[in-house]
Amino acid sequence: MKELDLLKKDWQKNQNSFEQVSETEIYKMIHKKSSSIVKWILIISVLELSLWTLISVAFNTDDYFKKLKHDELIFYFKILNVFSYVVIFIFIYLFYKNYIAITTTSSTKQLMKDILKTRKTVQCYVGYNLAMIVLGLIVGFVIAFAYNPETIALKSKIAENGTVMAITFGVLFLTILVFFGIFWLFYRLLYGILLRRLYTNYKELKKIDL
């Protein structure tokens, strides 16, 4: 393609057509803060990790179970607590490991892969917490029904009346749905803005090697 040869010749000839940046300016630049997407991902991820950890720590059910006077439940939830701490540590370790693997000296494809992997760790953590919340809601509902004396009146009503049952489950289902909807929208917006270009370019690179 002769136009491309022409372009190449011109490209190399015009080496020095740029306004040169002085050493003093470069000194100034290296002390400025980066605004790369990796930095944003780090900030958001740390916020997410701490928020969800805080929520799971703050969600203390001990008092509630004491009120129910069922010690075996307290025991089960202690095990669950230990389990969730282990999971938190595993996620934080994985996130840290993936984050430090991100380096600009990797190949472009590898760099993109590493960034997406780090994102995925946090996404899994959020997913895990959401799943635990839904599970918690269901288990809580069952426990409240089976053990809490305050719900006996409601229980008998539900057993008698189909409409009350439908409304109760409907409200429960809707709550979960709205909850997920808000999260989904929030994540789509946040990461859509941040990662759209990266996804497009990653797809393009993967396509080359197909």
Partner 1 sequence: MSQNLEHSFVQQLQANQNIIHKICRLYTNGEDAHKDLFQEITIQLWKAFPKFRGDSKFSTWAYRVALNTAITLYRKSKRTIATIEFEGRQHFTPDIDYNYEEEEQLKLMYQAVYQLNDIEKALIFMYLEDKDYQEIAETLGISEVNARVKMNRIKGKLKKILNPLGT
- Of 63, 72, 79, 104, which one interacts with partner 1 (CB under 8 A)? 104
Give the x/- contact pattern for partner 1 in 190-209, rule: CB under 8 A.
----x--xx-xx--xx--xx
Q: Which of 63, 107, 162, 163 binds partner 1 (CB under 8 A)?
A: 107
Asked whether position 110 contacts partner 1 by CB under 8 A, the answer is yes
| Binder of partner 1 out of 62, 69, 105, 183 (CB under 8 A) | 105
Task: Give whichever of 5 and 160 is closer to partner 1, judged by the CB atom.
Answer: 5
What are the CB-based long-range contacts (under 8 Å, 24+) for 69-75? Answer: 70/147, 73/143, 73/147
Cβ 107 to partner 1 shortest distance, Å: 3
How many Cβ atoms are within 10 Å of 187's Cβ, its own excluded? 13
Say whether residue 163 binds partner 1 (CB under 8 A): no
Sole residue written with tokens 């290296």: 30
- Determine, following the binding rule CB under 8 A, whether residue 3 of this chain makes contact with partner 1: yes
**Token code pair at residue 99:** 């984050």
The amino acid sitting at 189 is: L
Contacts of the segment 110-119: beta carbons below 8 A, 24+ positions apart: 112/198, 112/201, 112/202, 112/205, 113/202, 115/37, 115/38, 115/41, 115/198, 116/195, 116/198, 116/202, 118/41, 118/45, 119/41, 119/45, 119/191, 119/195
- Binding region for partner 1 (CB under 8 A) out of 16-24, 43-51, 75-83, 136-144: 16-24
> Binding residues for partner 1, per CB under 8 A?
1, 3-4, 6-8, 10-12, 14-18, 20-23, 26-27, 29-30, 32-38, 40, 103-112, 115, 194, 197-198, 200-201, 204-205, 208-209
